[in-house]
Structure 1
Amino acid sequence: MTSDEIRFDCQRRGDGGVPVILPRIDGVPLTELIDSFEIAAGMQPAGDTYGGLIPQFFRFGPMRDHFLGRSTNAMGPKTPVLGCECGEWGCWPLMARISVTADCVVWDSFEQPHRTTRDYTAFGPFQFDRYQYDDALRALSVALDSDVDDTRA
């Protein structure tokens, strides 16, 4: 299996400037990938329903731990990788199993917990080189740290 490339964009939300984290896989926002999949599968609602994660709206813990699948157990065995377009992850999350080894990180077993009849078997899996993934997490940490510094200025 070839490796996908991941990046975590950290942008400011328009309604107060809080940082929003949006994964990009092979340069494409995860929101676009899931929208295309759900629309092609005839799922309703679909399209423009997901948004990035907003750490300030929920105590995910360190984002590095979160995206390594080690976030709070209150969420169960899967990790939210996207939230609702409204900004609340619990409203309309995209959940994934995140498996980590020394060499790779895999996102698979996607689900929309509010629509349990939906079949996401054909979405993913996405396999990332562990070193590239760790670099992307470091870049996210730097972006979030500088964002915190900006809000203190």
Structure 2
Amino acid sequence: MAPYRIQFDHQRHVDRGVFDVVPRLDGTPLTELIDRFETRAGMRPAGEVYGGLNVRRVHERFHGATDPKAAVLGCSCGDEGCWPLLARITVTGDLVVWDDFEQPHRPERDYTGFGPFRFDRGQYDEAVRELSPDEEA
């Protein structure tokens, strides 16, 4: 299977004073992919419950966190810890893989079949490098 192409959508939340990013895989926002998966699986709540991550945290997390899993999405309310989507991020010489997804507040949920998402390491690194924690909307 060919690797996914990753990009990041940027959105400034003036009311919260933060700049969030949402991963886009082959042109589709990760929020949309997980919404479809959870809705089809009959999970509740599902649909429009996830949001972006603060850009300042993306750099450290998306290159293989020190924790076993890292948040790849936060809650739609803007609080990452409220309703995060976690994934294991494995970085190798030429690939980055996101797999083993979980919703930590609903450990009984089964995300088998969501992912794995494989990315070309060079393209992935470039997309993450393009994110600037000081960007203005």
* TM-score, scaled to structure 2: 0.92
Contact 1:22 1:53 in 2 (8 A): yes
Higher strand share: 2
For the pair shown, which has the larger CA radius of gyration, 1 or 2? 1
1:46-65 alignment to 2 at 5 Å? 46-55=46-55, 60=57, 63-65=58-60
Work out the CA distance in 1 between the residues paired with 2:101 and 2:6: 17
Higher helix share: 1
Is 1:109 the counterpart of 2:114 in the alignment? no
How much has 1:98 moved relative to structure 2? 0.2
Work out the CA distance in 2 between the residues paired with 1:33 and 1:146: 26
Is 1:145 the counterpart of 2:122 in the alignment? no
* TM-score, scaled to structure 1: 0.83
Name which of 46, 54, 62 aligns with 1:67: 62
> For residue 77 of structure 2, what is the aligned residue in structure 1?
86
Detail structure 1 runs of 4+ shifted over 2 Å in the superposition: 144-147
Equivalent residue letter for 1:39: T
Equivalent residue letter for 1:52: G
Gaps of 5+ in 1: none
How much has 1:145 moved relative to structure 2? 3.2
Gaps of 5+ in 2: none
Say how many residue pairs are matched. Answer: 137
Alignment RMSD:
1.6
